[in-house]
């Protein structure tokens, strides 16, 4: 049984049967005797508990278990009422029916759920369609806007249900960012529909270029610059032809930066930071035909909610947006005069609202082009109540914890509870913050933490086939009112299950209960799991054959074994609940299935293979540090994200953890600063009439303080008409990250070998296309423009990455986790995972060092990933993103070993070493300063392994030397020859 709340039991508003209520309130320590619980295993658990008060609660046999969640939330009954046009409902649940319609549209048939969510579309209407700012600005606007409004709802008024959405096949996005079976070997661009030369059909738009630009300001520049031809100027470095097989040292000594789009200085200055927003091509081809010729992937890489040190926050009655396409006003619009601005995405001319004439920064009137919205490409608006369909939710955190024998053995509870105790006051939230705990093995345990109790009450539910919530009102409690009880529980939890003999895991039923518990508010569920779920809904079987780990042939089971977790995630998403998974396991746990609970609910996935709190101290320390970040980082609730782009471009596939609601609205129950996204683009209409294109991301969310906010990023790029210009603007790192995302989809929907072929073909096709367009090149050589010179190296790195490698022993969960990371990490972290950075660190100097917070941080040059760079006399640091290795050569200078590692000689360095000691020497200071600096640049704490040459652990380090040949894979040089061979075919 897996029926979601609200659909399985007709009496949604029934009260809790008195039997529960009585038992729960009585506080009597119910003995867990054989008569108390129906299942024999329950007794084992109960006996082992030292929790102060504990009760076994059974559902009454006489009445069906009731979704008490629904009964507790006001207005929930309307979710059961068939909506009609004039059905009076409260704003909270206003758009029930269309939401389901849209949700169905967005879900492929296999994942359609019966969720009776009242919420889904509300937010769709808000960000995209309800024009709240227009309503408020209409007070100062003389006439209502007659323009056609393409979005579903015209006002947030509850009775006006959004009009049926007209299907737009040509712009219909794939329902999910996961899986696109139509990909050709090569990439999607080759098959995208080509509609070149189609002019805008609306006469209002067609003459947009002729508007005179009379009003001075930086914005007017935008129509005349951009796409400065690179061919007319002396050849830029990015177009320098590089003979790949001859030029052996292509890796720069310093980190590769994002290319700067070829715009004029004013636009450059205003443009969005590449840390938030990058495009694979910084020069956008004018037509799909030109893009097809270049054989390069076109798409965006986003890091929309990253931590910012500076962010203009705008409080204004009127959030100025285009009346036609809902774009937020931004630095790249044009002011036709003081009173009118032209949208840079759809070219509609809009009025400047009266309020916008006043500049709050300069306190002057009549300078709309100097408003902060027009001077910053990243801004955040405080949204008015027009952007809400219910009061902003409080921060709600639920922890769902595996307490089976396996979990207790691994010992994570101690670390988690300790970390929670330390960070309880730092959890993002306000006075309304709520928190709750559930534990589970073969049964599910709830904790009554209601203020006023003398101690926490444990309530055991053993009917996992139809889980109900005992005392639903006292399981998620106010953090401040119940803080002492929460602390008591956190102090007691680690020891409560120490003697358990319960090996089963009823994860699925526990998640169903969590969903019920969270549904009235939404929020974040953090699940800690240590094994395969073995009981009840969502149980899984082992699918991994350890003998196949190093297969070069078919790698199976990359997709989920059941759609249970995906369905549950979609239900959660509909109720604004994200599920984060912490998998701490020493054995196969079918991450491919479990990960779905997070992928589709906009959650995060963390994986700690071989976790053990004493046997694997570095993993334990990593968990501790990761938790600190996880618990205290910024969080946004009930969020939606929409990406808009200039007319003519269209988005067709999204990558990341979210649910695509309607065609292009990403539903994010939670958003966190460490989440990255990618989007594939195609060019549907020729861009010949414009010299610039823009992309805008709008992220509407509720802050942990209960404010509705909209973070907006706008990126501007030039349009080019020649192939050379397209090549000149390649952002090779963005391209490789997008390809990695596409390859993950391909691996799951088709096969790993198909994905690998597609990656190789991406190199072959692009270099071949380049070769055939540059006539004066030697045909025998493998040439690339300088902008693409790292492309083959990065693709080879991907082929050797855990996610895609073959022939090297790779545990299935490890592989799947790597794929999950590729799909959800922002570019900056993903690149280190794909191509680690290698530095020599036994001779660090202050030459070129940078100063950070009174610390001098050495900047050693990057080394290529090859054993030929390792000398036995040296020590090298490899930064793989989530892991650091320090490899110490056999002949390494004793001074380094003594001054930095703290041992007298090579032989005395222990086999397992995970820390650099704090020694009072200059070289120790330099090494630690450098490593700390690297560590600080990422959200999650990397593990450090100090690897002695000739120790067995060095294989881990050497597998990252991707330029070298291995038994299973090409060296870099061999790969180049292979590519060349394919081109000459
Ligand atoms: Zn517009």
Beta-carbon contacts of 37 under 8 Å, excluding residues fewer than 6 positions away, are: 43, 46, 56, 58, 443, 460, 462
C-alpha 682 to ligand 1 mean position (Å): 19
C-alpha 329 to ligand 1 mean position (Å): 9
In this predicted structure, the answer to whether residue 731 has a pLDDT above a threshold of 80 is yes
In this predicted structure, the answer to whether residue 461 has a pLDDT above a threshold of 60 is yes
In this predicted structure, the answer to whether residue 123 has a pLDDT above a threshold of 70 is no
C-alpha 121 to ligand 1 mean position (Å): 22
Residue 128 banded pLDDT, cuts 50, 70, 90: low
Higher confidence at residue 942 or residue 775?
942
C-alpha 151 to ligand 1 mean position (Å): 12
As a whole number, the mean pLDDT across the chain is: 80
User: What is the per-residue pLDDT for 545?
Assistant: 86
C-alpha 261 to ligand 1 mean position (Å): 23
Q: What DSSP string runs through 678-710?
A: EEEEEE-S--TT-SEEEEEEEEEEEETTS-EEE
In this predicted structure, the answer to whether residue 785 has a pLDDT above a threshold of 80 is yes
Tabulate helix, strand, coil % of the chain (nearest 5): 35, 20, 50
Q: Worst-scoring range by mean pLDDT, 15-29, 571-585, 671-685? A: 15-29
Give ion ligand 1 contacts, CB < 5 A: 322, 324-325, 327, 343, 345-346, 348
What structural domains does the chain harbor? 396-540+569-632 (3.40.50.410), 836-961 (3.40.20.10)
C-alpha 727 to ligand 1 mean position (Å): 30
> pLDDT tens digits, residue range 462-472?
999 999 999 98
C-alpha 206 to ligand 1 mean position (Å): 14
Higher confidence at residue 551 or residue 351?
351
Residue 233 banded pLDDT, cuts 50, 70, 90: low
Partners of 459 in beta bridges? 55, 446
The H-assigned helical ranges of 864-921 are: 894-896
> pLDDT tens digits, residue range 905-942?
999 999 889 999 999 999 999 999 999 999 998 888 89
Residue 12 banded pLDDT, cuts 50, 70, 90: very low
Q: Worst-scoring range by mean pLDDT, 136-145, 642-651, 779-788, 971-980? A: 136-145
User: What is the per-residue pLDDT for 508?
Assistant: 98
C-alpha 645 to ligand 1 mean position (Å): 10
Cα separation values, 739 from 309, 674, 743, 759, 798, Å: 30, 20, 6, 7, 9
Higher confidence at residue 511 or residue 79?
511
Beta strands in 410-534, from DSSP E residues, in sequence order: 434-440, 444-448, 457-461, 477-478, 523-529
Residue range 546-550: mean pLDDT, rounded: 84
What is d(CA 776, CA 822) in angstroms, rounded to the nearest whole number? Answer: 38
C-alpha 712 to ligand 1 mean position (Å): 15
| 968 within 8 A of 552, measured Cβ to Cβ | yes
User: What is the per-residue pLDDT for 163?
Assistant: 35
Q: Which helix (H) or strand (E) holds 105?
A: helix 96-106
| 701 within 8 A of 636, measured Cβ to Cβ | yes
C-alpha 241 to ligand 1 mean position (Å): 40
Q: What DSSP string runs through 161-215?
A: PPPPPPP-GGGPPPS-SS--TTPPSS-GGGGS---TTPPPS-HHHHTGGGS---S
Partners of 24 in beta bridges? none
C-alpha 320 to ligand 1 mean position (Å): 11
C-alpha 334 to ligand 1 mean position (Å): 12
C-alpha 349 to ligand 1 mean position (Å): 8
What is d(CA 79, CA 94) in angstroms, rounded to the nearest whole number? Answer: 9
Axis crossing angle, helix 732-749 with helix 791-799, rounded to the nearest 10: 30
C-alpha 33 to ligand 1 mean position (Å): 68
What is d(CA 909, CA 897) in angstroms, rounded to the nearest whole number? Answer: 8
Give me the percent of the chain exceeding a pLDDT of 90: 66
What is d(CA 855, CA 648) in angstroms, rounded to the nearest whole number? Answer: 49
C-alpha 380 to ligand 1 mean position (Å): 19
C-alpha 146 to ligand 1 mean position (Å): 15
Give me the percent of the chain exceeding a pLDDT of 70: 76
Helix, strand, or coil (residue 904): coil
> Which pairing describes strands 477-478 and 523-529: parallel, antiparallel, or unpaired?
unpaired
C-alpha 644 to ligand 1 mean position (Å): 9
Q: What DSSP string runs through 268-319?
A: HHHSPPTTTEEESBSSEESSHHHHHHHT---EEEE-TT---S---EEE-S--
User: What is the per-residue pLDDT for 88?
Assistant: 27
In this predicted structure, the answer to whether residue 32 has a pLDDT above a threshold of 80 is no
């Amino acid at each position: 049984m897996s029926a979601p709340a609200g659909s399985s039991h007709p009496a949604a508003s029934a009260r809790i049967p008195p039997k529960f209520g009585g038992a729960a309130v009585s506080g009597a320590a119910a003995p867990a005797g054989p008569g108390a619980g129906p299942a024999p295993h329950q007794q084992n658990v109960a006996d082992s508990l030292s929790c102060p008060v504990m009760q076994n609660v059974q559902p009454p046999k006489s009445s069906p278990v009731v979704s008490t969640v629904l009964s507790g939330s006001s207005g929930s009954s309307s979710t059961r009422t068939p909506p009609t046009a004039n059905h009076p409902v409260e704003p909270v649940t206003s758009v029930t029916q269309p939401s389901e319609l849209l949700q169905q549209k967005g879900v492929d048939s296999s994942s359609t759920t019966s969720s009776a969510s009242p919420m889904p579309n509300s937010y769709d209407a808000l960000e995209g369609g309800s024009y709240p700012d227009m309503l408020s600005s209409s007070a100062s606007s003389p006439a209502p806007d007659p323009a056609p409004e393409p979005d579903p709802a015209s006002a947030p008024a509850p009775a006006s249900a959004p009009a049926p959405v007209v299907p737009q096949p040509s712009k219909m996005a794939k329902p999910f960012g996961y899986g696109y079976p139509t990909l050709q070997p090569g990439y999607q661009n080759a098959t995208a529909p080509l509609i070149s030369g189609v002019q805008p059909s609306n006469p209002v738009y067609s003459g947009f270029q002729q508007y005179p630009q009379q009003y001075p300001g930086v914005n007017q520049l935008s129509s005349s610059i951009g796409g400065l031809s690179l061919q007319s100027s002396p050849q830029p470095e990015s177009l320098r032809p590089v003979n790949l097989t001859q030029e052996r040292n292509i890796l720069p000594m310093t980190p590769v930066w994002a290319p700067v789009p070829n715009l004029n200085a004013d636009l450059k200055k205003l443009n969005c930071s590449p840390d938030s927003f990058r495009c694979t091509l910084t020069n956008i081809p004018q037509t799909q035909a030109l893009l097809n010729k270049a054989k390069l992937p076109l798409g965006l890489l986003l890091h929309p909610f990253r931590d910012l040190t500076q962010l203009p926050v705008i409080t204004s009655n009127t959030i100025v947006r285009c009346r036609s396409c809902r774009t937020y006003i931004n630095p790249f619009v044009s002011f036709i005069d003081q009173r009118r601005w032209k949208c840079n995405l759809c070219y509609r001319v809009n009025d400047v609202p009266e309020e916008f004439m006043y500049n709050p920064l300069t306190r002057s009137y009549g300078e709309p082009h100097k408003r902060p919205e027009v001077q910053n490409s990243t801004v955040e608006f405080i949204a008015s109540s027009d952007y809400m369909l219910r009061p902003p939710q409080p921060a709600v955190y639920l922890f769902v914890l595996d307490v089976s024998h396996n979990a207790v053995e691994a010992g994570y509870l101690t670390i988690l509870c300790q970390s929670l105790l330390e960070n309880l006051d730092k959890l993002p939230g306000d006075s309304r913050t709520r928190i709750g705990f559930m534990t589970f093995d073969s049964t599910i345990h709830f904790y009554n933490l209601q203020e006023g109790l003398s101690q926490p009450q444990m309530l055991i539910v053993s009917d996992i086939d139809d889980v109900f919530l005992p005392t639903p009102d006292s399981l998620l409690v106010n953090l401040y009112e119940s803080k002492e009880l929460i602390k008591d529980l956190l102090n007691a939890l680690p020891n409560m299950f120490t003697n358990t003999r319960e090996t089963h895991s009823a994860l699925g039923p526990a998640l169903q209960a969590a969903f019920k518990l969270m549904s009235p508010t939404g929020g974040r569920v953090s699940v800690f799991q240590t094994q395969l779920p073995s009981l009840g809904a969502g149980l899984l079987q082992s699918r991994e054959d350890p003998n196949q780990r190093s297969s070069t042939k078919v790698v199976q089971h990359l997709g989920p074994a059941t759609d249970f977790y995906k369905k549950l995630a979609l239900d959660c998403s509909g109720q604004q609940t994200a599920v984060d998974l912490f998998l701490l396991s020493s054995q196969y746990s079918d991450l491919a299935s479990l990960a779905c609970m997070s992928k589709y609910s906009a959650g995060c996935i963390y994986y700690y293979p071989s976790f053990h709190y004493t046997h694997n101290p570095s993993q334990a320390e990593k968990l501790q540090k990761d938790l600190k970040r996880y618990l205290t980082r910024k969080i946004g609730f009930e969020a939606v994200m929409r990406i808009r782009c200039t007319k003519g471009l269209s988005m067709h596939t999204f990558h990341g953890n979210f649910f695509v609601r309607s065609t292009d609205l990403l539903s994010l129950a939670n958003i966190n600063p460490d989440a990255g996204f990618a989007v594939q683009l195609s060019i549907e209409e020729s861009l010949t009439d414009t010299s610039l294109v823009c992309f805008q991301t709008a992220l509407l969310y509720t802050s942990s303080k209960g404010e509705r906010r909209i973070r907006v990023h706008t990126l501007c790029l030039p349009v080019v008409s020649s192939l050379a210009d397209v090549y000149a603007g390649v952002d090779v790192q963005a391209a490789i990250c997008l390809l990695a995302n596409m390859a993950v989809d391909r691996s799951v929907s088709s096969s790993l070998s198909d994905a690998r072929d597609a990656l190789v073909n991406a190199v072959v096709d692009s270099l071949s296309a380049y070769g055939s367009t540059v006539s004066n090149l030697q045909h025998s050589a493998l040439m690339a423009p300088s902008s693409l010179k790292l492309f083959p190296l990065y693709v080879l790195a991907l082929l050797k990455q855990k996610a895609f490698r073959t022939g090297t022993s790779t545990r299935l969960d490890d592989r799947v986790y790597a794929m999950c990371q590729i799909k959800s990490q922002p570019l900056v972290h993903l690149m280190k995972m794909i191509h680690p950075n290698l530095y020599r660190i036994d001779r660090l100097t202050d030459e070129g060092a940078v100063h950070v917070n009174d610390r001098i941080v050495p900047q050693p040059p990057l080394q290529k990933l090859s054993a030929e760079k390792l000398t036995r006399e040296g020590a090298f640091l490899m930064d793989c993103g989530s892991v650091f290795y320090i490899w110490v050569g056999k002949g390494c200078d004793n001074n380094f070993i003594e001054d930095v590692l703290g041992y007298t000689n090579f032989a005395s360095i222990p086999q397992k070493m995970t820390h650099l000691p704090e020694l009072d020497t200059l070289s120790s200071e330099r090494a630690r300063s450098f490593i700390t600096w690297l560590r600080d640049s990422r959200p999650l704490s990397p593990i450090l392994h100090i690897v002695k040459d000739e120790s067995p652990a060095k294989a881990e380090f050497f597998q990252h030397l991707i330029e070298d040949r291995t038994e299973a894979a090409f060296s870099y040089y061999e790969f180049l020859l292979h590519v060349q061979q394919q081109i000459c075919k």
